[in-house]
Amino acid sequence: MSLDPLVEVALRPWGRPQAGLIQHRTPERLVELWPSFPMPGPNHVCLVRCAPERVDPMIDETRQLAAAHGLRCMWILDPGAKPADLGERLNARGIPQVEELDVMVLPVGTTVAPGDQAIQIVDGLRDVATYQAAEAVQAAAFRDGGPLPGQPERFAEACADPARRLFLALVGGEPAGAGWGTVHGEGVLINGGAVHPRFQGRGVYRALVAARLGLAREVGAAGLGVQAKPDTSGPILSRFGFRTVGRWRTHADGSC
């Protein structure tokens, strides 16, 4: 099974319909807005392919679009972003670079042992209470004070989208970790993998990766794709067999 489509969807996963997602595309960029998830990241500007003389007007137009929805955006620069100095131009407009992310893939034939048998993986979308438990685990892991506003809307949208899956890890019946998987024809994209601080170091993260790799096998996908921080989750994923196929640069706009 060729990994080329998997690599492409991991590098450029945008432009696909999802429940609750607003998309606005021009030849210069794609804006994806998720009002139920009001933070940069889910709300982003991507696939920027802009002439140098059009960068400033394009930024102004994009900011107006996001502001009309009361949202702030992340600008994601994939390896094909243009012009070549787009990052510097964004910095000059008060849209600073915040991090770089390794884009990684894992072939479906890789073995990732699920680890401790005491870890139980359940459907995080099976009911509202389970979904809330998964969001609470992620809020604790990322220390972001969540959950964010819009939780009921996010739950309804996720349930309405057959491509989206949420995995909740339980240890002794307690919520210990959670992570998302989104099924595409080319592969399964994973994100939001997090372990509650009280359960770190017990194989919960590994079990969540194994569960989503199992999903890829179930749907006949070529493997998993992910974007990872090179100093935190990236080295862990490398140990599971993920390899880096590219890099994103991200810029956060506080003016939208």
Which of the 8 DSSP states describes residue 37? S
Q: Which two tokens stand for residue 219?
A: 């749907």
What are the DSSP E strand ranges found in the chain? 22-26, 29-33, 44-46, 74-77, 97-107, 119-123, 164-171, 174-183, 188-195, 223-228, 243-252
- Residue 138: the pLDDT is 92
**142: pLDDT strictly greater than 90:** no
Query: Which tens digits make up the pLDDT trace of 169-178?
Result: 999 999 999 9
The helix, strand and coil proportions of the chain, stated in percent and rounded to the nearest 5, come to 35, 30, 35
- Residue 145: the pLDDT is 64
**184: pLDDT strictly greater than 60:** yes
pLDDT bucket at 60, cuts 50 / 70 / 90: very high
| CA distances for 227 relative to 85, 105, 189, 233, angstroms | 22, 9, 9, 9
Rounded Cα distance, 207 and 16, in Å: 28
Of 30-34, 47-51, 111-115, 124-128, give the lowest mean pLDDT range: 111-115
Q: Which fold has domain 109-221?
A: Aminopeptidase (3.40.630)
Hunting for tokens 């137009």 — which residue is that?
61
* Domain residue limits, the chain: 4-101, 109-221
Rounded Cα distance, 214 and 123, in Å: 13
- Residue 2: the pLDDT is 60
Of 25-34, 42-51, 138-147, give the lowest mean pLDDT range: 138-147
